[in-house]
Amino acid sequence: MTCDFHVLAAPGVRNLQPYQPGKPESELRREYGLSDIVKLASNENPLGPSPRAVTAIQSVLGDLARYPDGNGFELKTALSAKLGLSMAMLTLGNGSNDVLELIARAFLTAEHEAVFSEHAFAVYPLVTQAIGATARIAKAYSPNHAMPCGHDPAALLALVSERTRVVFIANPNNPTGTWLTTAELQGLLEAIPPAVIVVVDEAYFEYVEPETDCPNALRWLDRFPNLVVTRTFSKAYGLAGLRVGYAVSHPAIADLLNRVRQPFNVNSLALVAAAAALEDVSHLEQGRAVNRAGMRQVQDACRQWGLNWLPSAGNFLCVDMGRSGREVFVELLKRGVIVRPVDNYGLPQHLRISIGSAAENARLIEAMQDVLRG
Ligand SMILES: *Cc1c(COP(=O)(O)O)cnc(C)c1O
């Protein structure tokens, strides 16, 4: 007889729902026998990584028998030069997801609480629960607010108590695309007690347009030592498959995060690719231009269909389908287009569409046109 392992599991793990990733292209190919598939489901960069990153990877292929540099010295040097801050403030992660987990492990216990918003990135509840800590979920702004479904700073603040150790803020947020303005985020940082870690997850920072009032939170690191800013190479840098991200924080926080970090959490290919990608400013700019044009292309189509979308500062659009988002998702799958239902985020009528290349967006628009007509 097998043992009841469920009972043996740590309390936080017992009721954990696994993260639901975007459907991989290979899976759709297997299930539906389709060949021409467009995946706009995981906010990946349609241009892929910088060619310099690929060359850098090729240059280290002969060294795969060696462990990576556990301190990530060269990548940290490059990041520290780029961001203009000390290496002691950096923590590297196997994706920024890893960094979010390090933060939970370093600061949360079963006695503590993490605060975040409704519709916020799904990894916050996951890392909180896995530790056995309690999640306190703030109501988001209403769908009629100027920032519909966005984080509400007053609601977040109202949940901060003696038991709060971490506040998670995604800016801009995934899957909504919404953001806290400079004044909102600064006000929140001023109001949250200094003994509460405030994580500002800037996974889409590189996509934020200059005219959008979505702040670069690094500017507040000197003023608020309890601030941790996380970023990633998975989105604008096009390196999602390699898994590399980082946190920027006060050195004392970085020291703690580095204590709970696996010694070799970032692999050697990711380390060199990320450092090379940082140098290729023009590739990043090209990706932003593709995203700008794609946003217009998809928004124009939505306008013609009479569909509303949430404001987005990222490389994706959360569109209100006015009916079950999951049903439309399935209809699009049959037509070889993968997008993301967001019912698990409390948005049953929305679909999150990643902005792709012009051709990929055109495929989406054509398939959607077909679904909406049907
Ligand atoms: C994609 C994403 C991340 C994590 O990406 P990694 O690939 O783990 O670096 C973190 N936060 C948000 C809001 C995201 O959308």
Counting from 1 in the atom list of ligand 1, the atom nearest the Cα of 100 is 10
Measuring from atom 12 of ligand 1, which residue has the nearest CA? 203
Query: Before 143, cis peptide (omega within 30)?
Result: no
Cβ neighbours for 241, distance < 8 A, ≥ 6 positions apart: none
Q: What is the pLDDT of residues 113-137, one digit of tens each?
A: 999 999 999 999 999 999 999 999 9
| Domain presence at residue 113 | yes
Measuring from atom 2 of ligand 1, which residue has the nearest CA? 203
Ramachandran angles phi, psi of 198, nearest 5°: -110, 115
Q: Ligand 1 — pocket residues by CB below 6 A?
A: 43, 95-97, 121, 170, 174, 201, 203, 232, 234-235, 240, 245
Q: What is the pLDDT of residues 61-77, one digit of tens each?
A: 999 999 999 999 999 99
Counting from 1 in the atom list of ligand 1, the atom nearest the Cα of 172 is 13
pTM, entire model: 0.96
Pocket-testing residue among 45, 103, 123, ligand 1, by greatest number of atoms within 8 A of Cβ: 123
Measuring from atom 15 of ligand 1, which residue has the nearest CA? 174
Distance separating alpha carbons of residues 88 and 307, to the nearest angstrom: 47
Domain boundary among 215, 246, 279: 279
Q: Which domain holds residue 211?
A: 51-279
Domain boundary among 279, 295, 322: 279
The helix or strand, by DSSP H or E, that contains position 327, with its residue range, turns out to be helix 325-334
Domain boundary among 279, 307, 329: 279
pLDDT, greater one: 131 or 22: 131
Spell out a b/e string for 92-115, using b for 16 or more CB atoms within 10 Å of the CB, else e.
bbbbbbbbbbbbbbbbbeeebbbb
pLDDT over 70 at 1, yes or no: no
Residues 110 and 141 in one domain: yes
Number of helices and strands (H, E) in the chain? 14, 13
Residues 104 and 247 in one domain: yes
Residues 165 and 290 in one domain: no
Q: What domain count does the chain have?
A: 2
| Domain presence at residue 7 | no
Ramachandran angles phi, psi of 300, nearest 5°: -60, -45
CATH code, domain with 118: 3.40.640.10
Q: What is the pLDDT of residues 330-359, one digit of tens each?
A: 999 999 999 999 999 999 999 999 999 999
Confidence of residue 2 (pLDDT cuts 50, 70, 90): confident
Mean of the per-residue pLDDT values of the chain: 96
Pocket-testing residue among 176, 232, 237, ligand 1, by greatest number of atoms within 8 A of Cβ: 232
Q: How far is the CA of 327 from the centre of ligand 1 (A)?
A: 26
Kindly write down the DSSP assignment for every residue of 286-298, as one continuous string: HHHHHHHHHHHHH
Query: Before 175, cis peptide (omega within 30)?
Result: yes
How far, in whole angstroms, is CA 236 from its chain's centroid? 11
Residues 182 and 258 in one domain: yes
What pLDDT is recorded for position 219? Answer: 98
